[in-house]
Structure 1
Amino acid sequence: MAKERSSGAGDPARTLELLWREGAADGGSRRGSRQGPRQGPRQGSRRGPRQGLTVDAVVDAAIGLADEGGLDALTMRAVAQRLGVTPMTLYTYVPGKAELLDLMLDTAFLRMPRAAFAADEPWRERVTAVAGENRALYLRHPWVAELRVHRPPLGPGVMTKYEHELGAFEGLGLDDVAMDSALTHVLGFVQSVARAELDARAVDRESAMSDHEWWAAHEPLLARMFDAERFPLASRVGEAAAVAYQGVYSPDHAYAFGLARVLDGLAALIPPAAAGR
C-alpha cells in the first residue's frame, strides 16, 4: 500500500523513458498522439497497441479516476474499464501502477497554470504567487497531496515547475542552496495546510454536516459539560476563534496567517538591498 502512494517506486529507466517521450522511437510528442513503449509486440502479432489509444489517454483516464475517488479508486483495472480496454492492454503503454503515478504527477505539474514574474515584481508577491499556484493544484487534484514525493519523477512537468518556482527567489542575494531550501520550506507549508483543508472537506462530506451545523447541533450538550472556570483561556480564546472562523477551523485564515509568517521568516535571509528591489 505504501508503494502505491509514493512517487519514484517504479522502474526508473522505464519511467524516465515515458516521461521524456518526445524523442521516443515511436515519434510521438508530449502533446500529440503517441503509441506505446518501445518494447511493443513484434510485427505480425495480434496483441499490439490499440488504435487511437495513447499514453496521454491512459494518464488522463487515471487522473480522472483519482480526482473523483482518490488514490484508493485508482487501479489498472479501473483505468482499463474507463478506456474500454482489458487491463493487459494498458501494459502496452504503461508498465504498471508505480510508473503511472509518476506520469500522473508529472502531467499535473506540467499543466499547472503559472503566471510569469515581472522583473520589478516584489519578492513577496512572487513567492505568494508560487504558494497560491500550489494550493490550487492540491485543491484541484487532492490525490497529489496524498502522494509521498521524496523522489519526484524528473520529467518535464517537475523540471518546468522547479524552474518557474526558483524564479521567485532569483536575484535576492541567496546562494543556490538557500534558494532551494527556501522553496522547499514554502512548498512544505502549502502542502501541510492543503492536507488540513482537504481533511476538513472530507469530514464535512462524510458527516453530511458543515462545521457550523455540527457545532450548532452539539452546542447545548457542550454548554452543559464544559467548565469555563476550569479552562478560562481555552474558553476565551476558543470562543473568539470560533466567531472569527465561523466554525472550528478556517482554511483560508490558516493559509493566509501561516504564509505571512513564512514570508516574514524568509525576509530575515534576504539582504535589505535585494529585498527592496
Structure 2
Amino acid sequence: MARGKAEDPDHAVELLWREGGEKPRQGLSLDRIVRAGVELADAEGLGGLSMRKVAERLGFTTMSLYRHVPGRDQLIDLMCDEVAGETASAGPVVREEGDWRVRLEACAREGWELRRGHPWLAEVRGGRHVPGPRTVARYEQMLSAVAGTGLPPAEVIAVVGLVGRFVDSEALLLVESAEAERRSGVSHEEWWGGRDTLFERLYAYPTITRLWEEGGFDRPEDTFEFGLARLLDGIELLIQKRYESSDETGLCVVCGTPVERPASGRPREYCSASCRQRAYRRRRTGRDGQSREK
C-alpha cells in the first residue's frame, strides 16, 4: 500500500468506519488482522506489536497486511476501536436520565475493566489517534452523563477528559508493573520485599516511620477506588458551585433535572425530596456503604 495512505488521516477514518466494503483477499481480511493485533498486544504489550509479528501470527507475509492496513499506527487505532465494543456501553447511544454521578462512575469503571483486560490501551498516547465508531460511542455516553448538570460546554468536555486521563494513568501503572516483572522475572512484592537496605535508612524520616508503624503501608487504599471517588467528589462540588453562582434556572445537583429558582429565599438544590434524601445519604455514608459517624 502506498506510503501516502499511511500518513492520510482521512484514509484512517475510512478504515475505522468501514467505508468502501473491504473484501477479503486470499483468506486474509482486515478484521482478522485487527483481532490478531489485539491478541499480540494482550500477550506482549504495545511494544511487542509489529506488522511483521502480526503477519507471522496469521501465516502471511508482511506485505500482505499492507494491502489492508497502511501501517502500525492505523492498526493500533483499529485495535482500540475493536476492543471498545466489548461492553454494552459501546452500542447505540441512549440518552439516559438519572444521577450524573452514577452514570459517569459506571463509564469510568467500564473503561477500567477494559484496560485491565487490554492493558496496552493505556500505552496509546498522543492526541492524533483517529477514533472509530465504538470509541466515539463511549465518548458520547460519558459526555451525555455530564451534559445535563448545568456545567458550561467547555467544562463538560474537560470533566470527561479528566476522568478518562485518570483511568488511563491508573491503568498505566499496571502496564509498567507487568513490564518490569516480565523483564526481571521478579514480582512487584518480591522486589520490594528485598529492599531491607533501603528500609533501614527510612527510620531517619519521622512521618514515614510513624505511618509505617501504624500500618499505613501494610493496608493501602485501592488507588483506583480512592482516586475515582475523590475525583467525582470534586466534580460534584464544581457542579454545586456553578449552580449556586447561576442566576438562571438551576439544575438538581443529584440528577441534573431543571429546578426553578424561587422568587425569594435560598435557591433550591434538589428537584425532589427523593434527590434530597439521596444527597443526604451520600454525605453520611462512605463509598463502601459504611457510616462515617463514630
Pick which of 102-111 and 209-218 moved more.
Answer: 209-218
Instruction: Describe the superposition over 1:23-62 as per-residue Cα deviations: whole angstroms up to 9, x where unpaired.
Output: 41xxx3xxxxx416xxxxxxxxxxxx21x32111111111
Offset, 1:256? 1.3
Aligned pairs (5 A) from 1:123-272 = 123-219=100-196, 221-222=197-198, 225-226=200-201, 228=203, 230-239=204-213, 240-245=215-220, 253-271=222-240
Unaligned runs of 5+ in 2: 1-5, 244-250, 256-294
1:15 to 7, 12, 17: 12
Identity %: 37
Unaligned runs of 5+ in 1: 1-8, 29-33, 37-48
- Residue pair 1:11, 1:99 contacting (<8 A) in 2 also: no
Offset, 1:96? 1.7
Offset, 1:192? 1.1
1:35 to 9, 23, 26: 23
Offset, 1:114? 2.4
Pick which of 97-106 and 184-193 moved more.
Answer: 97-106
Question: Aligned AA for 2:229?
Answer: A
Aligned to 1:114: 89
- Residue pair 1:152, 1:158 contacting (<8 A) in 2 also: no
Question: Aligned AA for 1:255?
Answer: F
Offset, 1:120? 5.2
> When the two structures are superposed, what TM-score results if normalisation uses the length of structure 1?
0.76
Which has the bigger relative contact order, CA under 8 A and spacing at least 6? 1
- Residue pair 2:95, 2:144 contacting (<8 A) in 1 also: no
Q: How far apart are the structure 2 equivalents of 1:129 and 1:185? A: 15
- Residue pair 1:110, 1:156 contacting (<8 A) in 2 also: no
Instruction: Describe the superposition over 1:107-138 as per-residue Cα deviations: whole angstroms up to 9, x where unpaired.
Output: 22233442888945422221211111111122
Question: Aligned AA for 2:13?
Answer: L
Q: How far apart are the structure 2 equivalents of 1:97 and 1:212? A: 35
Q: How far apart are the structure 1 equivalents of 2:81 and 2:94? A: 22
Question: Aligned AA for 2:254?
Answer: G
- Give the direction of change, closer, same or farther, for the CA distance of 1:166–1:16 in structure 2 (3 Å limit): same
Q: How far apart are the structure 1 equivalents of 2:192 and 2:108? A: 31
Offset, 1:205? 4.4
Q: RMSD between aligned alpha carbons?
A: 2.5
Question: Aligned AA for 2:9?
Answer: P
